[in-house]
């Protein structure tokens, strides 16, 4: 009760993020236990429990609560989107893909467990995410769970996440990448999983079709927003401020929004996307929408 | 019981179903933008020579228990999609390093390793999505479909086929039983069980289908090992994998004995379906086919 009253006055985004991250971390730890063969499960847990802000699960839970659901109802779906996020990073880091040895300051999965295990553990996380939604979701009618599974599958497959990765790979080194193609990559590579996160949350929470579609638009806008801001930060901030190498995009001559639009127009575009995202939330209960509003602002105004 | 199946024309039955499944798979993966990924997915899923044993097993089990085969086709296709995904990843240089499969270059040989990884990553979800979007809702209750999805996810997951592939690559040595059971038994089990679930089979029937499908899947692979050992044209790479086959570990004689036991075990499970009369004949004939390889398909290799 006390907490609710405080929320009405001021929404504490940091506490909210920490609280949800703790909830999700515990649920992920429980969902993927150490079984035989131990090493493959260790590999799954190594990347899954490596930390991270848990933005996708938070979106899933916030969307569920926004449409009037309980957070526990969305928790299996929230874990599922994080499992898929994790497995896509594991496969992305492989030598035949981006060939990254480190992620978040830790050796990547294949460096620790070998490429074969990293491929298999990624596959296992992918299939388990669907199993987890199917078996662990409580108090939701089977037709809604099936709808959620179909949404998840669409957002992460060849029409979603994978499509973004493919076009990204094919665009490497190309000098004729236009705005449409850049937007396609980001809408699929980044926004699709954010979309799955809020849509699954809204489905599990019992949201109406109209509510689900509003949240879908919200997620697509903040997905794109995230990338535009990322591109701007890369050229305007120092490595020190970013906590990672700045100016990387220029060095590899990557196609970015500043490159295609210039800094000013990119900033305007980011403003427009944030506004579009916020508009989708305007008809919801303002207090319940506070986490999503804060998240969009966080993405728009972050300094690193 | 081995004579019972001789009255059934498995080759015609199987070929007809196989054609139908090939057509449905073709329709299930239309080429869209970005076309590379769809072509890579289609290359492996629609590869010529695939017997379509898992989908045929699924459809047959469904029909045996009174289900409509239209209820089983989407799941049957999904089984091929996730199976193809596993095989694409198994062939990668960091795994089995097989440059070819069924006499054709492997997926990564044609499309590159990055595309092969992503094609597999796209086929797993496509399988689940296909089940949800294509299964006629008037034929299968939603709760049953959730069980089907769970069954498939488990079969390919970290305690199923992925576990088999892991132990195959990383040991411990002489775990051939575990590897065969997980890599080959799991798909047979899953196929038969999914067919039963779609038809609304009882728990007892599901359990029988489970043991039956597992035995047939392993039987098929053990017989493969025996046939391979007997053929004189063994390539060097197969020789290297000696510790990975039944024959390599136990010798031909023991492998033949194991195959006979599996054949008997599979047929024993089918005794529980006698009440369905002649409808059980296809399942009997699958067992004999796995053991004897009485025929081959025109375009198979």
- What is the distance, to the nearest Å, from the Cα of residue B252 to the centroid of all Cα atoms in its chain? 24
The confidence score (pLDDT) of residue A241 equals 82
Alpha helices in A49-186 (DSSP H): 55-66, 71-92, 109-113, 115-136, 142-156, 161-171, 179-186
Judged by CB atoms closer than 8 Å, whether chains meet at A116 and B94 is answered as yes
> pLDDT category, B4, cuts 50, 70, 90?
low
CA B282 to chain A, closest CA, distance in angstroms equals 31
Judged by CB atoms closer than 8 Å, whether chains meet at A116 and B166 is answered as yes
Distance, CA of B191 to CA of B55 (rounded, Å): 7
* H-run or E-run covering A277: helix A263-280
- DSSP 3-state assignment of B14? helix
CA B142 to chain A, closest CA, distance in angstroms equals 6
CB proximity B140 to A under 8 Å: no
The confidence score (pLDDT) of residue B301 equals 44
pTM: 0.95
The confidence score (pLDDT) of residue A104 equals 84
The confidence score (pLDDT) of residue B232 equals 56
Judged by CB atoms closer than 8 Å, whether chains meet at A115 and B94 is answered as yes
Average pLDDT on B109-137 reads 98
Average pLDDT on B87-99 reads 97
Average pLDDT on B192-219 reads 98
The confidence score (pLDDT) of residue A166 equals 97
- DSSP 3-state assignment of B224? helix
The confidence score (pLDDT) of residue A238 equals 83
Reply yes or no on whether the pLDDT at B44 is more than 50.
Answer: yes
The confidence score (pLDDT) of residue A3 equals 52
Chain A residues closer than 8 Å to B133 by CB: 150
CB atoms within 10 A of CB A3: 9
Q: Residues A240-263: pLDDT tens digits?
A: 888 777 888 888 788 999 999 999
The confidence score (pLDDT) of residue A1 equals 44
Write out the DSSP string of A202-244: HHHTT--HHHHHHHHHHHHHHHHHHHHHHHHHHHHS-HHHHTS
The confidence score (pLDDT) of residue B173 equals 80
Distance, CA of B187 to CA of B229 (rounded, Å): 24
Q: Residues A161-170: pLDDT tens digits?
A: 999 999 999 9
Chain B residues closer than 8 Å to A145 by CB: 142, 146
CB proximity B207 to A under 8 Å: no
Average pLDDT on A21-42 reads 97
Q: What CA–CA distances, in Å, run from B163 to A123, A169, A252, B126?
A: 11, 30, 39, 22
Chain A residues closer than 8 Å to B85 by CB: 123
Chain B residues closer than 8 Å to A157 by CB: 121-122, 125-126, 129
Q: Which residues contact A230 (CB under 8 A, 6 or more apart)?
A: none
Chain A residues closer than 8 Å to B158 by CB: 35, 37, 40-41, 44, 120-121, 124, 128
Percentage of residues in chain B with pLDDT exceeding 70?
Answer: 93
Distance, CA of B131 to CA of B101 (rounded, Å): 27
The confidence score (pLDDT) of residue B243 equals 67
- A49-108 residues touching B, CB cutoff 8 A: 87-88, 91, 94, 96-97
Distance, CA of A278 to CA of A218 (rounded, Å): 7
The confidence score (pLDDT) of residue B59 equals 98
Q: Quote the mean pLDDT of chain A.
A: 94
Q: Residues B255-297: pLDDT tens digits?
A: 999 999 999 999 999 999 999 999 999 999 999 999 999 888 7
Average pLDDT on B135-149 reads 97
Q: A198-209 burial string, b = 16+ CB within 10 Å, else e?
A: bbbbbbbbbbee
| A107 strand-pairing partners | A102
- DSSP 3-state assignment of B247? helix
CB atoms within 10 A of CB A103: 17
If you measure CA to CA, which chain A residue comes closest to B91?
Answer: A116
Q: B297 φ, ψ to 5°?
A: -85, 150
Tell the residue number behind the tokens 């073709």, with chain if given.
B26
Distance, CA of B205 to CA of B183 (rounded, Å): 23
Q: Residues A192-227: pLDDT tens digits?
A: 999 999 999 999 999 999 999 999 999 999 999 999
Chain B residues closer than 8 Å to A88 by CB: 121
Q: Which of A30-39, A73-82, B59-68, B175-184 has the lowest mean pLDDT?
A: B175-184
Average pLDDT on B39-43 reads 98
Average pLDDT on A70-86 reads 98
Reply yes or no on whether the pLDDT at A47 is more than 70.
Answer: yes
Judged by CB atoms closer than 8 Å, whether chains meet at A145 and B162 is answered as no
| B293 within 8 A of B222, measured Cβ to Cβ | no
Reply yes or no on whether the pLDDT at B205 is more than 50.
Answer: yes
Look at residues A31, A80, A90 and name the one whose alpha carbon lies nearest to residue A59. Answer: A80
CB proximity A180 to B under 8 Å: no
Percentage of residues in chain A with pLDDT exceeding 90?
Answer: 85
The confidence score (pLDDT) of residue B154 equals 98
Reply yes or no on whether the pLDDT at A44 is more than 70.
Answer: yes
Q: Hey, of A116, A128, A180, A187, which one would you mutate to test binding to chain B, going by the most B CBs within 10 A of its CB? A: A116
Range picked from A3-12, A276-285, B247-256 for highest mean pLDDT: A276-285
Judged by CB atoms closer than 8 Å, whether chains meet at B115 and A166 is answered as yes
CA A41 to chain B, closest CA, distance in angstroms equals 7
The confidence score (pLDDT) of residue A6 equals 47
Look at residues B115, B138, B21 and name the one whose alpha carbon lies nearest to residue A163. Answer: B115
Distance, CA of A234 to CA of A145 (rounded, Å): 40
Judged by CB atoms closer than 8 Å, whether chains meet at B92 and A119 is answered as yes
Reply yes or no on whether the pLDDT at B236 is more than 60.
Answer: no
More confident residue, A190 or B1: A190
Look at residues B46, B127, B86, B50 and name the one whose alpha carbon lies nearest to residue B299. Answer: B50
Distance, CA of A302 to CA of A53 (rounded, Å): 14
Distance in Å from the first CA to the final CA of chain A: 35
Look at residues B250, B163, B270 and name the one whose alpha carbon lies nearest to residue B210. Answer: B270
Reply yes or no on whether the pLDDT at A9 is more than 60.
Answer: no
More confident residue, B51 or B236: B51
Q: What CA–CA distances, in Å, run from A241 to A228, A257, A303, A304, B226?
A: 18, 20, 8, 6, 64
Distance, CA of B130 to CA of B119 (rounded, Å): 16
> pLDDT category, B47, cuts 50, 70, 90?
very high
CB proximity A135 to B under 8 Å: yes
Q: Which residues contact B28 (CB under 8 A, 6 or more apart)?
A: B77, B81, B126, B130, B134
Distance, CA of A289 to CA of A292 (rounded, Å): 6
| A102 strand-pairing partners | A107
The pair of structure tokens assigned to A248 is 């990387």
| A199 within 8 A of A213, measured Cβ to Cβ | no
* H-run or E-run covering B101: strand B100-101
The confidence score (pLDDT) of residue A110 equals 98
The confidence score (pLDDT) of residue B242 equals 59
Tell the residue number behind the tokens 């459809």, with chain if given.
B59
Q: What DSSP designation does B100 have?
A: E
Distance, CA of B180 to CA of B182 (rounded, Å): 5
Q: B104 φ, ψ to 5°?
A: -120, 155
Average pLDDT on A59-63 reads 98
Q: Which of A182-196, A235-249, B150-164 has the lowest mean pLDDT?
A: A235-249
> pLDDT category, B298, cuts 50, 70, 90?
low
Distance, CA of A184 to CA of B225 (rounded, Å): 48
If you measure CA to CA, which chain B residue comes closest to A113?
Answer: B170
CA B81 to chain A, closest CA, distance in angstroms equals 12
In terms of phi and psi (left: phi > 0; alpha: psi -120 to 50; beta: otherwise), the region of A99 is left
Average pLDDT on A89-109 reads 94
Distance, CA of B183 to CA of B166 (rounded, Å): 10
Q: Hey, of A87, A157, A177, which one would you mutate to test binding to chain B, going by the most B CBs within 10 A of its CB? A: A157
The confidence score (pLDDT) of residue A293 equals 95
**How many C-alpha atoms does A28 have within 13 Å on its Cβ side?**
29
Four-residue CA torsion sign, B173, B174, B176, B182:
negative
Percentage of residues in chain B with pLDDT exceeding 90?
Answer: 83
More confident residue, A14 or B246: A14
Q: What CA–CA distances, in Å, run from B24 to B14, B156, B188?
A: 15, 22, 21
């Amino acid at each position: 009760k006390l907490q609710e009253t405080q929320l009405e006055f001021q929404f504490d985004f940091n506490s909210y993020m920490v609280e949800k991250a703790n909830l999700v971390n515990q649920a992920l730890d429980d969902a993927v236990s150490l079984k035989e063969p131990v090493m493959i499960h260790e590999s799954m847990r190594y990347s899954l429990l490596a930390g991270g802000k848990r933005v996708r699960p938070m979106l899933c839970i916030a969307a569920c609560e926004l449409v009037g659901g309980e957070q526990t109802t969305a928790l299996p779906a929230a874990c599922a989107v994080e499992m898929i996020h994790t497995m896509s990073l594991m496969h992305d880091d492989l030598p035949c893909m981006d060939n990254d040895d480190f992620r978040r300051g830790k050796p990547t999965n294949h460096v620790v467990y070998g490429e074969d295990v990293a491929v298999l553990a990624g596959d296992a996380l992918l299939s388990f995410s669907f199993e987890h939604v199917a078996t662990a979701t409580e108090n939701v009618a089977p037709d809604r769970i099936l709808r959620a599974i179909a949404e998840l599958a669409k957002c992460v497959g060849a029409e979603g996440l994978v499509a973004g990765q493919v076009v990204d790979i094919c665009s490497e080194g190309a000098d004729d990448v236009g705005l449409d193609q850049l937007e396609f990559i980001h809408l699929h590579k980044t926004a699709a999983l954010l979309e799955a996160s809020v849509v699954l949350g809204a489905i599990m929470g019992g949201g109406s079709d109209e509510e689900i579609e509003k949240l879908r638009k919200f997620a697509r806008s903040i997905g794109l927003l995230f990338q535009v801001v990322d591109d701007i930060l890369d050229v305007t901030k120092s490595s020190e401020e970013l906590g990672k190498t700045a100016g990387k995009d220029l060095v590899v001559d990557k196609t970015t929004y500043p490159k295609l639009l210039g800094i000013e127009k990119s900033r305007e575009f980011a403003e427009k996307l944030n506004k579009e995202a916020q508009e989708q939330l305007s008809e919801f209960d303002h207090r319940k929408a506070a986490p999503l509003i804060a998240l969009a602002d966080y993405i728009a105004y972050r300094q690193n | 019981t081995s004579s019972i199946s001789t009255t059934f024309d498995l080759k015609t039955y199987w070929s007809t179903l196989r054609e139908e499944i090939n057509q449905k798979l073709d329709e299930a993966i239309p080429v869209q933008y970005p076309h590379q990924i769809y072509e890579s997915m289609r290359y492996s899923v629609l590869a010529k020579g695939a017997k379509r044993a898992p989908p045929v097993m699924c459809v047959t089990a469904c029909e045996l228990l009174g289900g409509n085969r239209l209820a089983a086709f989407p799941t049957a296709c999904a089984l091929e999609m996730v199976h193809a995904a596993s095989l694409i990843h198994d062939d990668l240089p960091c795994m089995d390093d097989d440059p070819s499969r069924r006499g054709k270059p492997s997926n990564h040989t044609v499309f590159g390793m990055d595309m092969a990884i992503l094609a597999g990553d796209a086929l797993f979800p496509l399988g689940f999505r296909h089940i949800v979007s294509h299964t006629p809702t008037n034929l299968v209750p939603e709760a049953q479909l959730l069980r089907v999805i769970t069954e498939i996810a488990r079969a390919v997951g970290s305690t199923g086929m992925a576990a088999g592939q892991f132990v195959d690559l990383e040991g411990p040595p002489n775990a051939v039983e575990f590897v065969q059971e997980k890599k080959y038994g799991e798909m047979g089990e899953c196929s038969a069980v999914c067919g039963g679930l779609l038809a609304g089979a009882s728990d007892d029937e599901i359990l029988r289908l489970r043991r039956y499908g597992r035995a047939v899947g392993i039987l098929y692979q053990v017989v493969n090992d025996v046939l391979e050992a007997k053929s004189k044209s063994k390539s060097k790479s197969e020789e290297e994998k000696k510790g990975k086959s039944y024959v390599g570990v136990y010798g031909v004689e023991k492998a033949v004995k194991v195959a006979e036991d599996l054949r008997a075990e599979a047929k024993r499970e089918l005794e529980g379906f006698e009440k369905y009369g002649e409808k059980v004949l296809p399942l009997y004939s699958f067992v004999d086919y796995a053991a004897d390889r009485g025929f081959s398909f025109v375009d198979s290799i």
